[in-house]
Amino acid sequence: MVKLIENEILKTFYKKRIHVIAGILLVLIALFAYGEHYTLTRTQDRVAEQLGIENAEDWKNIIGQQLQDLERRLDNPYIPDEGKASIQVRAEQLRFYLDNDVSPIGSTAARFMGQFIEQSIFLFLPLLIILLAGDMVSGEVNSGTVKLILTRPVKRWKILMAKLLALSMLEMFVIFMMALFSFAIAMVVFGYSGFNEPVITGFRVFEGQLDTSAVRTIPQWQYLMMTYAIGYFVAFVIGSLSLMVSVLVRSTSASIGIMMSTLIGGSFLSFFISDWKLTRYLFTVNLNLTSYISGSFQIVEGLSMTFSTLVLLGWSFGAIGIAFLVFTQKDILA
């Protein structure tokens, strides 16, 4: 089994798929860091101009201005009720930060690392994993190398298990690269700081209202460990689904296309049929697990960290079961 796993990892590096993912990460993280720095600078300049002061580096001035902007948006009669509920929750969060004297904004390496994984976990990270896992089986079927593999005296389930375990290790490597590149680029742009600063977590949204009963303060480094662990869990789920599709179809392009279409289409679908009860069981709706610890507004009602985790586990185990069933029974050599 160890040799099989090693062989799968080496094949992935030989295809230079990891190199492509590393290049995409470097470019996107650099652009994201520049955007964050530029946005913060512009916000400080705008607040300073509105308040008639020389600079607005004090985070309380910025939060106060953001609260005023949110209150003006709440008075807009053209914003739907769902949008107003989201704005109201955000305004309550900002007031909580002010009351507890904890800054929710700033430009530190640690804060940037957390923001990047939070923004990536819903779409960007899954796309990278799809790119990584999309041809684990279909690529070999398409090229014909699977025939050579199956002629060896190794049971089919062991071959697929080796692919699954190798994929899990490669997913961990992608998460590690994301953390390493985020830290390195943030060090250059923002400097080394912020890993011990307090972070308020545990916000919950219940029936459109912010619930702060479970709120607690933790250091930033602990928050980063939580978010990147969640990122790996999401990567494992998407990897399991991608592996299943790769077993079901013979074309690598079809495998990657099906997963990307499902991911993007499911994300859009949740906005249009959020009132449909079955929507909450879509895996795309439950991917944004970090929103539960940051207290973001949920478009689909009835979701929680426990519920979303169980739904994603169900999709993952179901996909793995189907993949093993088809791979061990299907006439792949035909």
Residues in the chain: 334
Q: pLDDT, tens digit, for every residue of 114-130?
A: 888 988 888 889 999 99
Provide the pLDDT for residue 3.
81
3-state secondary structure of 216: strand
pLDDT the model gives residue 205: 65
pLDDT of residue 229: 94
Which H/E stretch holds residue 209? strand 209-211
What are the φ/ψ torsions at residue 252 (nearest 5 degrees)? -65, -45
Cα distances (Å, whole numbers) of residue 267 to 52, 68, 260, 270: 42, 31, 11, 6
Instruction: Please give the structure tokens belonging to residue 100.
Output: 């507890």
Task: Check residue 288 and give its pLDDT.
Answer: 84
Q: What is the pLDDT of residue 182?
A: 92
pTM: 0.82
List of the chain residues with pLDDT < 50: none
Give the model's pLDDT for residue 48. Answer: 65
pLDDT of residue 51: 56
Predicted local distance difference test score (pLDDT) of residue 149: 64
Question: Between the CA of residue 290 and those of 15, 87, 309, what are the distances in Å?
Answer: 32, 19, 11
Asked if 137 and 243 touch (Cβ cutoff 8 Å), the reply is yes
User: b or e along 3-32 (b: 16 or more beta carbons within 10 Å of the residue's beta carbon)?
Assistant: ebbeebbebbeeeebbeebbeebeebbeeb
Helix 124-133 to helix 109-120 angle, to the nearest 10 degrees? 60
Segment 255-293, tens digit of pLDDT: 888 888 888 877 776 666 556 677 788 888 888 888 887
Rounded to whole angstroms, the Cα distance separating 100 from 8 reads 51
For residue 129, the model assigns a pLDDT of 92
Report pLDDT for 171: 93
